Amino acid sequence: MAMTIWRLPDVMAHTGLSRSTIYDKMKNGEFPLSINLGPRAVGWIAEEVLDWIDKQIERSRRSDQG
């Protein structure tokens, strides 16, 4: 199975989160961890980010009903 790797601008565009929020959430275990691509490059596995988005939608919808 081929995986897609997103760089930070892609992650920000898909999630609507800022750079600092993404890194804060990673630090707190609330967002998928980045992977090292090189000495000065990181990326995120797109499928993990999309799963995170799905879970956020599910949580939001549950709390809206309660």
The tens digit of pLDDT for each residue in 7-57 reads 999 999 999 999 999 999 999 999 999 999 999 999 999 999 999 999 999
Query: Two tokens at 59?
Result: 């949580």
The reported pLDDT for the residue numbered 21 is 98
Domains in the chain: ranges and CATH: 5-65 (1.10.238)
Looking at per-residue confidence, does 30 or 63 come out higher?
30
Adjacency order of strands within the sheet including 41-45: 5-6, 41-45, 35-38
Residue 47 has φ and ψ, to the nearest 5°, of: -65, -35
Sorted by sequence, the CB contacts under 8 Å of residue 47 that are 6+ apart come out as: 3, 4
The reported pLDDT for the residue numbered 62 is 87
